[in-house]
Every structure is written in structure tokens, then in C-alpha cells.
Amino acid sequence: MSSSEDVQVVAQSPKTDDVVDDKLGIGNEATHEVLEVEDGKAGPAPAHGLKQTKRNLLPRHIQLMAFSGAIGTGLFVGSGSALTRAGPVGLLLGYAIYALLVWSTFNAIGEMVVWLPVDGSFVVFAHAYLDDAWGFALGWLYTCTNALSTAGEVAAVATIVQFWTDKVNSGVYVAIVSSSLVLFNVFGVRIYGEGEFYLSIFKIILILGLLVFTFIAMVGGNPQGDAFGFRYWKNPGPFNEYIASGSLGHFLGFWSVFVQAAFAFGGPDYIALSAGEARNPRRVLPSVFKRVIYRLAVFYILGVTAVGILVPYNDPDLGSNKPGAGASPFVIGATRLKIPVLPHIINAVLLTSAWSCALELFYASTRSLYALAVDRRVPRFFLFTWRGVPTYCVLAIWAVTWISFMSVSNASLTVFTWLTSIVGSGNLLIYCVFHIIYIRFRRAQKAQGIIDDQRPWFRRHQYYYSIVSLFFYALIFITNGFAVFTKGNWSVANFIFAYFSFALFLVALIGYKVIKRPAMANLREVPLNAGRTELDMDDGRAEPEPKTRSQKFNRWLWG
């Protein structure tokens, strides 16, 4: 059997409605008092399981969420500052290596999510496969990191609009965008899915269009008729010196790329958190995770290759505080070639791209907060749902996005850079924890006699890939703030940006362990189904097999 084949699920799912995982405190007793409002009527939640959200995300919603990921300002704008530090080859190598780590992370999370496609996803896995303290710390770290990231994207939208005019206070744009996030999320997950679907289409068109533009321009299809090719890889050169000179400076420039890449790359967490609201998750999700390698190769690897082709790393506009897409290497490249109109087109589509990122990050942070509520780690009112949406979770994350109002008194790009620094290092730590969870998950499966034929979807040798990935993520995270320890570069702010996430995670983890003293279950007793019932893990809607060509094409395209 190939590594990417789907295999039949064998009896590991609880078949009764009264399964309760006492260790996690979830089950019937934990859900009797939850109130749900639908169609204007309130009442006690059903006593037959935890499921309060609704499986209304269609396959095309999930696929577009996966394809667009977090592709946005991190790639279109932030890659410019990374190019300045590392040079074109240093940038490409950094992104390529990080892409392999992300591919491994997608596979690890994909195996667990397809095994247990429930609300809360990896937060639930941390509670079940490690202990309550790990789940509590991961849930809060992820919620805070993504809420801040949402604020960063909102600030980025304000920056992008200022490309055309700065006569309107950026606070107006911040208010409009942050309010739209609530409107897309509060009326049902289907509304969110449709909004993300169409915004993602613009984003995909943008990156593909920029790749075509780069190829045409480099072979001479520009107003100057200059077939410059890979000229900038020779002059000023493939690598830049960062902090130090010579080979050490080249290496430090290359190493500095990873934190920026950690912010730019869309991880598996968005798809994982949508699993509890996806239709037919055990059929659809494997196709999403199988195709990730193509997304990584086309969007990220080719994207940063194009950046290094269009602009030399010593261009003074790279990493500047210019508004909107003015700091984007793609716009800088078009301006250098004296191509009219194109910068405005890029800025317009970049606006939808950043908006799409904000929408997806907003969704992810609300669902991780809801996961903490499901496992009773935050006040119970966060469990309240309306139309299947955790309403108070949405309002809480909306309040966090107001941080982006700082862009009123500071340059929007400066605020975006601050938040990028915190979020990039936070993502590295989160992915470390993902692989720790997966390693324990696989060890528990082996201890309980679960063989490959009983796993719905898997990648061969992923256990060993995760060990290697964990090592490199940890190494990159530990060294991500190296610049502040070099002579003349100490900065309290940059130190906090680099290691704030670690302090937050450590305080939550140790504090919970000291106060609650949770015990880690023996591998043979690890609740692989986390106390969830069949109602939680699938929607039970049997779909007919496609018969016509169009139906088969749609099944192939969307899953």
C-alpha cells in the first residue's frame, strides 16, 4: 500500500453516545448545561455528545483554505526585508528548507486530524495524548499568537490602502476590516467558508500572475527590452552579508530567513481547526494533505525565486516603510522596469490577500479558544454557540484585533513588523509542540496495537520525520533572536519579540502543572479518541459516488 493511500477505519471509534473521558472531563456531564441558540430558540445542548458546531464547510471551502493558507503580506511584502538580509540564494535556500519542515508538519497533523476530525483539533490532541497542562499551554499560545497575527493583517490592510492615499486616518480602515471579520464569522461557518473561498481565489490569481510576470520580464518582455535573467544573482551576488562579514555573514543572513518564513508559510493548523466543521472529513481531508507539497513548491519556492530575480538585494526601497505594496519586491521590480499600472493592480489584489489572511487567522483563533472551552479550560460561557458559531469566542478575538489601532499613532508597516516578529517565533514553538504531540500519538498507537491498516490516512516514516523536524524547529526557535546578542545590536524590544511566545508557553505550562498537577497517561491508556463520539467525528451524511464527468471532476478537484 502506498504511503498516501486512504485505508479503511477499523473499530477504534466509540459506538455509544455515553462515552466519557473522565481524565479530560468531557462527555455528557460536561455538555448538559451548554446552551445553543438556533433559529431564535435557546435550550439545553443535546445530551448525546459534545457537538455544538455544525459541519457546513464544503470540500471546496477546505481546499481553498488549504491552497491560500497564510499566503499574504508575509510573502508579498515581508520577503523584501528577508532578501535584503540574505540575498536571493540565501532567501531561496531558507524557504526551501523551511518548506520541507512545513511539509513534515502537515503530514503529522494530517494523520492525527484524519484519525480524529473533531472541534479543537490539536488542542484536544495535546490534552489527550500528553496531559492537560500541555493542552492548556498550547491552546493559549495558539490563541494569543493567531489573535495577534490577525491584528497584524488588519494593520497591513490599512497600510495597503495608504498606497493610494493617506488623507483618511488608518483607524477608519482598521475599524472596517476588523468589523468585517465578525460579520463573516458570526452568522454561520458557511458564510465564512464562502468569504474565504472567493478571497482566496484572488490570492491564487495574484501569485500565479506574478510568477508569469516575472518570467516574461526576465526574458525581455518589459519596456526596456532588457532580458536580465538571473543578473542580480551575479551582481550584487547570491548572498548578502548580515551582521558579520565573509562566510559567517552569508550564513547569518541565510539563517535570519527562517523567522520571516515562519510567518509567511501557511501551516496545517488552519485546516486542522476546520476539521470539526467539515463535511465528510475522513474523505475530504486526506486529499487536502496529499496536495500540500505542490502548494509549497508553487507558491513559496517559486515565489521567493521570483523575488530574487526581480530586485537586487541592495535596492534601497527593500524593507522600507513605504505604504501598501510600495515595500513589496514585486512592485519595486515593476517600478524599476518602468511598467505602469501594474503596481496598482498588485496593490489591489494584495488588499484582498491580506483580508483573506486576516479572515482565516480570525477563524483559527476563535476555534482554538472554543477548544479550550470544550475541555473546560476557560469560563463556560465561551461554549455558547449561535448558528453553530462560538459567539463569545468570536467577540473576544475581535477585541484583540483592536491592537491594530496602534497603526493610528505609528506607521502601519511598523506595527505589522512588530506583530510579525512575535508571531513568527510563536509559530516555530507551536510547530515544535505539534511534533511532540505526534510522536506521543504514534507511540500510543503502537502500544495499543494499532497497525497501519487501521489508520485512515498516513505517511510512511513520518514518525522519524517528526523527530528530525522537532530538532530543527527547536534549533531555529532557540536561535531566532541571535541578532540581539551580537555586538552593538542589543534591543530589549527585539529580545521580547523573539522570546515572548516561549515565556507565555512556559508560564502556562508550569503554572498549570504546579496548580493542577495533571498526570500523563501510560501509553497503553492514552485516550486515542479523546472521549469523542461518532457524532463528533463525522457528519454521518453519506454522499453518492460521482457518475457524470463533471461530478467526477469536482470530486477530483475539491475532494
In the structure, what pLDDT confidence band is assigned to residue 535 with cuts at 50, 70 and 90? low
Query: 26 pLDDT exceeds 50?
Result: no
pLDDT in tens, 360-375: 889 989 999 998 888 7
Mean pLDDT computed over every residue of the chain: 81
CA angle 540, 543, 544 (to 5 degrees): 145
pLDDT tens profile 309-363: 999 999 988 866 666 667 788 888 888 888 888 888 888 878 888 888 888 889 9
Burial 39-62 (b: 16+ CB within 10 A, else e): eeeeeebbeebbbbbbbbbbbbbb
Q: Would you state the pLDDT for residue 161?
A: 82
* Single-letter amino acid code for the residue at 263: F
Q: What is the model's pLDDT at position 6?
A: 38
CA distance linking residue 490 with residue 79, whole number of Å = 24
Q: What is the pLDDT of residue 162?
A: 78
Residue 383: closest CA among 22, 119, 128 = 119
Q: Torsion over CA of 317, 323, 326 and 330, rounded to 10 degrees?
A: 110
Mean pLDDT, rounded, for 17-29: 35
Task: Give the C-alpha separation, 49 to 28, whole Å.
Answer: 6
- Residue 168 · residue 376 · CB < 8 Å: no
Based on the number of CB atoms within 10 Å of its own CB, is 138 exposed (0-12), middle (13-18) or buried (19 or more)? Answer: buried
Please calculate the CA angle 404-406-410 and round it to the nearest 5 degrees.
125
Question: Cα 156 to the chain's mean position, in Å?
Answer: 17
Cβ–Cβ under 8 Å, residues 470 and 414: no
495 by Cβ neighbours in 10 Å (0-12 / 13-18 / 19+) ranks as: middle
Of 24-38, 80-94, 128-142, 418-432, which range is least confident? 24-38
- Here the cell at position 399 is 477585541
pLDDT higher than 80, residue 481: yes
- Residue the block writes with cell 529580545: 495
Tell me what percent of the residues of the chain surpass a pLDDT of 90.
37
Average pLDDT over residues 373-398: 89
* pLDDT tens per residue, range 196-242: 888 888 888 888 888 999 999 999 998 888 999 999 999 999 999 99
pLDDT band at 35 (very low <50, low <70, confident <90, very high): very low
Give the pLDDT band of residue 20 (cuts 50, 70, 90): very low
Establish whether the linkage from the previous residue to 518 is cis, with ω within 30° of 0: no
| Residue 11: Cβ within 10 Å count | 7
pLDDT for the residue 22: 36
Does the pLDDT of residue 538 top 70, yes or no?
no
pLDDT one-digit tens code per residue, 87-127: 999 999 999 999 999 999 999 999 999 999 888 889 999 99
Residue 36 has pLDDT above 70, yes or no: no
pLDDT beyond 50 at 19: no
pLDDT of residue 465: 97
Q: Are 275 and 117 in contact (CB under 8 A)?
A: yes
Q: Which amino acid is at 309?
A: I
Evaluate if residue 423 carries a pLDDT over 60.
yes
Q: What's the mean pLDDT in 177-181?
A: 91
Q: Describe the strand order of the beta sheet including 385-386 as a list of residue ranges.
A: 41-44, 35-38, 385-386, 389-390
Q: Residue type at 391?
A: T
Pairwise CA distance, residues 129 & 398, whole Å: 31
Reported as a pLDDT band with limits 50, 70 and 90, residue 37 is very low
What pLDDT band is residue 505 in, cutting at 50, 70 and 90? very high
Find all residues with CB under 8 Å of 259, minimum gap 6, and list them. 421, 424, 425, 428, 476, 480, 498
Top-confidence residue, 282 or 94:
94
Q: pLDDT confidence of 172, banded at 50, 70, 90?
A: confident
SS3 224: coil
pLDDT confidence of residue 289: 87
Please report the pLDDT score of residue 49 as a whole number: 43
pLDDT confidence tier of residue 541, bands split at 50, 70 and 90:
low
